[in-house]
Amino acid sequence: MKKLLLICFPLLFISCQEQNSADLTKAINSKIDNWHLAASNADFENYFGFIADSGIFIGTDVTERWSKKEFSDFSKPYFDKGKAWSFTAKERTISFNKQKTIAWFDEVLDTWMGDCRSTGILSLHNDEWKLEHYQLSVTIDNELMPKFLEITKSN
């Protein structure tokens, strides 16, 4: 009986860890989806409430590296007009550190710019997930790169 318990306990522990990871992944997916939805709904409080106070947002333009305050100041007029932006995840991958206190993700988004790719880092703050770092990138098909380089050289 002891041998059976010694064999079953680790399997039960591993199974619980996998379930916890699945539940946590689902919760993080929901948080990120709701964050994108808050922008679509021009919900300033929920959108910026998800970003950590020390959070950084990197946009598609090379000059766009904003603190939370800088980004919220820039974005406020759009939200106030009820017209922010609408991004919908087409696919997303989420990973965690061993302690499940830091999560990072990458996603492909459907946007007004076409498909974009983004990456982000979240951390736990008093049992609440907050976005620490987010980077949005416009994607370019490899075969279009020569044309893209030609366009950017003229600027």
Boundaries of every domain in the chain: 2-153
Residue 1 is predicted with a pLDDT of 58
Fold of 2-153: Nuclear Transport Factor 2; Chain: A, (3.10.450)
Residue 17 has pLDDT above 50, yes or no: no
pLDDT band at 20 (very low <50, low <70, confident <90, very high): confident
Distant-in-sequence, close-in-space partners of 117: CB < 8 Å, separation ≥ 6? 106, 107, 108, 109, 136, 137, 139
* Alpha-helical regions (H) of 54-144: 68-80
Q: What is the pLDDT of residues 84-136, one digit of tens each?
A: 999 999 999 999 999 999 999 999 999 999 999 999 999 999 999 999 999 99
Q: What is the pTM of this model?
A: 0.83
- Residue 82: both structure tokens together: 């009820």
At 34-75, the pLDDT tens digits run: 999 999 999 999 999 999 999 999 999 999 999 999 999 999
> Quick check: helix, strand or coil at residue 134?
strand
Which helix (H) or strand (E) segment holds residue 103: the answer is: strand 102-111
Residue 11: pLDDT band by 50, 70, 90 thresholds? Answer: very low
pLDDT range class, residue 152, cuts 50, 70, 90? confident
Q: If we measure between CA atoms, which residue out of 68, 25, 26, 23 comes closest to residue 47?
A: 68
- Give every CB contact of residue 104 below 8 A, 6+ residues apart in sequence: 94, 95, 119, 120, 121, 122
> Cα–Cα–Cα angle for 68, 74, 80, nearest 5°?
105
Q: 133 by DSSP, 3-state: which?
A: strand
